[in-house]
């Protein structure tokens, strides 16, 4: 197996980690104004992700950095062609992070309401636009012979891309609801379980349509198996939720996102950014990769530090594994303060 192929696989794993972990963060943020009907309930909802949300975003930084180092041509074409969409995602993530920090700085309900809206918007926009971005990566974009994007914003908003955005939005809402059902108590837990059933059914329809369309366009037997597996995991998550097995339900939605992401990358391989102008202009793992020397050094560094990062993040989740709820939440500062 060549080094470019290995790093394509590692970048896939990084995106899986980011979208699975940040996915439930986004879902909690989107559900905040709907499930949290009092200030105490909203603080409890934010407290469920308070210890982990900023750590989850590190996966995005590592995925971006790995892409820049391993596939600089891919990084350049991607970030120039998708500049506006990625800029909107970045602004939304900044607003969301600031909202977590500032909502507790003043006691007025109007102040906190505005920051709660910022958390909702800062979660909704990336949840939608990441799906749009990945759908365009798989489907391809207009690239010229210099691998320069020649389209515009409307080029990225076709029916397939928008369906991809709605699919990730639905997946993250369902994933966030299963997380809240696992991490909360009392009435919040009941509301979260109710959302899983409703959002999960809508998401199942969207996911089947999107993954089916993907397989018809670019699929192969391997990605088809993974897509079917993702659909099965989602249905299993909904069944586990109905039978009260909230841990299995959360594991099911996490597996759904993981298998769906791997299916998309497998459908993309060996391209990293197909050209709809001319297939000869497409970026592949070969013509977009760094030198073997660079990839070799990166591989050694990854083998040393990746296990340490995984152990640390796993320890964090273990420390904060208990459910959130009860009167103590109202006396404790919310996330980020």
- Summarised one tens digit per residue, pLDDT across range 30-86 is 999 999 989 999 999 999 998 888 888 889 999 999 999 999 999 999 988 888 889
* Predicted local distance difference test score (pLDDT) of residue 325: 67
For domain 3-325, the question of CATH label 1.10.760.10 is answered with: no
Q: What is the mean pLDDT of residues 282-287?
A: 93
Question: Residue 35 and residue 227: Cα distance in Å, rounded?
Answer: 31
Contact 173, 241 (CB under 8 A): no
Phi, psi for residue 278 in degrees, rounded to 5: -160, 125
Question: Reduced to 3 states, what is the DSSP secondary structure of residue 269?
Answer: coil
pLDDT at position 50, please? 84
Per-residue confidence (pLDDT) for residue 315, from 0 to 100: 87
Stated as kind and residue range, the H or E segment containing 219 is none
Q: What is the reported pTM? A: 0.90
The DSSP element (H or E) to which 332 belongs, if any, is none
User: CA-CA-CA-CA torsion for 57, 316, 36, 240, nearest 10 degrees?
Assistant: 100
| C-alpha angle 21-27-28 in degrees, rounded to nearest 5 | 95
Q: What is the mean pLDDT of the chain?
A: 90
Other C-beta atoms lying within 10 Å of the C-beta of residue 269: 18
Bridge-based pairing state of the strands 271-273 and 283-284: antiparallel
| pLDDT given at position 214 | 87
């Amino acid at each position: 197996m060549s080094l470019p192929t290995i790093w394509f696989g590692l970048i896939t794993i990084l995106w899986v980690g980011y979208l699975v972990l940040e996915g439930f963060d986004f879902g909690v943020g989107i559900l905040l104004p709907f499930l949290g009907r009092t200030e105490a309930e909203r603080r409890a909802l934010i407290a469920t992700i308070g210890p982990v949300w900023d750590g989850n975003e590190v996966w995005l930084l590592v995925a971006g950095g790995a892409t820049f180092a391993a596939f600089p041509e891919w990084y350049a074409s991607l970030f120039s062609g998708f500049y506006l969409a990625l800029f909107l995602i970045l602004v939304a993530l900044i607003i969301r992070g600031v909202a977590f920090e500032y909502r507790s700085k003043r006691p007025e309900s109007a102040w906190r309401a505005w920051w709660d809206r910022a958390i909702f918007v800062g979660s909704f926009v990336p949840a939608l636009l990441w799906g749009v971005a990945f759908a365009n990566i798989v489907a391809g974009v207009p690239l010229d012979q210099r691998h320069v994007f020649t389209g515009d914003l409307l080029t990225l908003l076709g029916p397939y891309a928008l369906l991809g955005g709605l699919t990730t939005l639905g997946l993250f809402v369902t994933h966030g609801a299963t997380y809240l059902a696992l991490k909360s108590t009392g009435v919040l837990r009941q509301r979260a379980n109710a959302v899983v059933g409703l959002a999960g059914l809508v998401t199942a329809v969207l996911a089947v349509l999107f993954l089916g369309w993907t397989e018809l366009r670019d699929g192969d037997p391997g990605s088809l198996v993974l897509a079917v597996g993702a659909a099965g995991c989602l249905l299993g998550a909904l069944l586990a939720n109905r039978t009260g097995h909230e841990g299995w339900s959360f594991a099911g939605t996490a597996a759904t996102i993981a298998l769906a992401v791997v299916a998309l990358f497998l459908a993309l391989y060996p391209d990293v950014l197909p050209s709809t102008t001319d297939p000869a202009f497409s970026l592949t793992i070969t013509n977009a990769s760094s030198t073997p020397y660079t990839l070799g050094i990166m591989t050694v560094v990854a083998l040393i530090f990746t296990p340490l990062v995984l152990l640390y993040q796993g320890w964090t989740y273990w420390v904060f594994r208990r459910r959130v709820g009860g009167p103590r939440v109202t006396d404790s500062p919310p996330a980020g303060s």
